[in-house]
Amino acid sequence: MDRYQADFEFKFSAGAKDGTFSGYGAIFGNVDSYGDVIERGAFKKSLSDWEAKGKLPPMLLQHGGFFGPVDDMLPVGKWTSMEENSKGLKVDGELFALGTDRGQLIYEGMKAGSLDGLSIGYRAKKFTVGTKPTDPTRTLHELELRELSIVTFPANDKALVGSVKAVDIDAIATLSDFEDFLREASGGRISKNAARDVTSRLTKIVRREAGDDQVKGLLDRLRSTSKLIIPN
């Protein structure tokens, strides 16, 4: 699943119910930290699909903690509306459990500006890959929206990306996992087809030189040499 990070433009309206807020989860035409640009209309079909289900994508904190405890996957609130306008994906939400320590911490963090970002989890259904140095990495035409998280942006975005990649390496168990890892490690710069081609080519080389029974060993070596794949 790909992610798009944008500045969290939100506000708590005076006189509104505590914990309710509105803002933008994505901005059209804006190059994100991975070099991707979302095109207006990219959410149209996905929002229609969610509407048919009678609900909206879950509101998570930090994308559910990236393979953390099960409790991390529990929604921290709910999105009450999502719609596209000329600017981007406009959202309204409401936080859960303000009477608990966790709920109050999230609420206070947002009001103080410490929790100052939104990041969508999505799958790119239709996109165009840039061909020139001045082009965006990808122009995203249609997205399948999976979740929309409240996130903390570190001063150095690479620190967050690096920690996620390290976890993903440990999770590699199959060639399919390796394909997913390549895409995550590249920040979306490697397409699904390209990741599949790299994995297929690598598998053929290993089988030719070492035999089928060595493919699993290759994955083990890849996990153990993570520093070569992701420099510090």
The per-residue pLDDT for range 45-88, each reduced to its tens digit, is 999 999 999 999 999 988 886 545 556 678 999 999 999 999 88
User: CA separation (Å) from 38 to 3, 90, 137?
Assistant: 12, 14, 11
User: CA separation (Å) from 116 to 18, 37, 68, 119, 172?
Assistant: 18, 20, 21, 10, 31
The per-residue pLDDT for range 167-222, each reduced to its tens digit, is 345 556 777 777 766 665 554 556 667 777 777 777 777 677 666 555 566 666 65
**Whether pTM exceeds 0.85:** no
- The residue written with tokens 């997913």 in the block is 180
The per-residue pLDDT for range 131-174, each reduced to its tens digit, is 988 888 899 999 999 998 888 753 223 222 222 233 345 556 77
- Mean confidence (pLDDT) of the chain: 74
The per-residue pLDDT for range 223-232, each reduced to its tens digit, is 555 444 444 4
- The mean pLDDT of 103-125, rounded to a whole number, is 83
Rounded Cα distance between 109 and 97, Å, is 14
User: CA separation (Å) from 230 to 152, 168, 198, 216, 221?
Assistant: 22, 11, 17, 21, 14
Read off the tokens for 56: 């909206």
Q: Which long-range contacts (CB under 8 A, 24 or more apart) does 47-54 make?
A: 47/82, 47/83, 47/84, 47/145, 49/144, 50/82, 50/145
Rounded Cα distance between 28 and 44, Å, is 13
